Amino acid sequence: MQVLLARENGFCFGVKKAVELTEAAAESGASVHNLGQVVHNPTISRRLEDRGVKVIKDVAEASEGVVVIRAHGVPPRVRREIEQRGLECVDATCSLVLRAQRFTKQLADEGYTVVILGTPDHPEVVGLKGFAGKDHVVVETEEQWNALPKMKKAGVVSQSTQPPWAFTALVAHVATLAQEMKVFNTVCPVTVKRQVAATELAEQVRTIVVVGGKNSANTRELVNLARMRGRSAYHIENADELRAEWVAGEDTVGLIGGTSTPMDTLLEVKQRIEALGAEERTAAPA
């Protein structure tokens, strides 16, 4: 059994920066807190925990030391709270998320109703909402955006990991509702490349194993893409979750990871699939 790795894999630059900044803070000897998982990957969270980094849900849980803002960013009030409590703030917000936050604020300042494409409770969207003023709405499904009212001025942005086709469809729809419209395309090009790689993989194999945090939006999108193309796609966080029956009888299995999946986790899964293939060959009647 062969394993075909997708053309794009490994950390994106935003995840790499967030992990490096947290590690550097931990090495300084300070008491380091991640405000939520710094990136959506359990392996990374465990590694940082082993270095003494604590994950907190609320700034109030940190009485001293450093608070690291996750790659997904936070609303402005959270950053203010970190400063007001006299804690050191390490900002690991991805530069592309910062850019989306700036555009969102600009739309709110210019009087647009901000329409955000995203999952309402995803940390990145929670952060964007903090920049969107009172007049904003979050939509995730076609059903939700079909229920949008007519608007005088509508400004559209997106959570970075949303599929580009959904953003295009939403923009086309809002154009039919708004007298005036402004659009900032804040879909992350790195996740788009990863989605293209998943699509290419789906053209070459029947079964795809997708590795990444169960709460990782971009990983889940890769699973959706593979399934939309009629492939069997299995989402796992590590090699221990792989089941032999998923890959049984396959000559080639596709393998791809989310943008916060470490390469070593991906390579462990690759080895496990190859080992299952070898067992299958040995067990086959001569």
Chain residues in the site for ligand SF4 (CB under 6 A): 12-15, 71, 94, 96-97, 160, 188, 190-191, 218, 259
Least separation in angstroms between residue 94's CB and ligand SF4 is 3
CB-nearer residue toward ligand SF4: 22 or 259: 259
Least separation in angstroms between residue 156's CB and ligand SF4 is 17
Least separation in angstroms between residue 48's CB and ligand SF4 is 16
CB-nearer residue toward ligand SF4: 159 or 207: 159
Tell me whether residue 124 is one of the annotated catalytic residues: yes
CB-nearer residue toward ligand SF4: 113 or 161: 161
Least separation in angstroms between residue 70's CB and ligand SF4 is 10
- Sheet of strand 113-117: strand arrangement: 136-139, 113-117, 151-158, 178-183
Q: What is the 3-state secondary structure (H, E, C) of the chain?
A: CEEEECCCCCCCHHHHHHHHHHHHHHHCCCCEEEECCCCCCHHHHHHHHHCCCEEECCHHHCCCCEEEECCCCCCHHHHHHHHHCCCEEEECCCHHHHHHHHHHHHHHHCCCEEEEECCCCCHHHHHHHCCCCCCEEEECCHHHHHCCCCEEEEEEEECCCCCHHHHHHHHHHHHCCEEEEEECCCCCHHHHHHHHHHHHHHHHCCEEEEECCCCCHHHHHHHHHHHHCCCEEEEECCHHHCCHHHHCCCCEEEEEECCCCCHHHHHHHHHHHHHHHHHHHHHCCC
CB-nearer residue toward ligand SF4: 14 or 212: 14
Residue 278: both structure tokens together = 């070898």
CB-nearer residue toward ligand SF4: 21 or 188: 188
Write down the residue that tokens 């001025």 correspond to: 153
Least separation in angstroms between residue 122's CB and ligand SF4 is 11
CB-nearer residue toward ligand SF4: 191 or 207: 191
Write down the residue that tokens 């300084």 correspond to: 28
Active site residue: 124, 140, 221, 237, which one? 124
Least separation in angstroms between residue 68's CB and ligand SF4 is 14
Geometric angle at alpha carbon 211, from 209 and 212, rounded to 5°: 150
Which residues are tagged catalytic?
A: 124
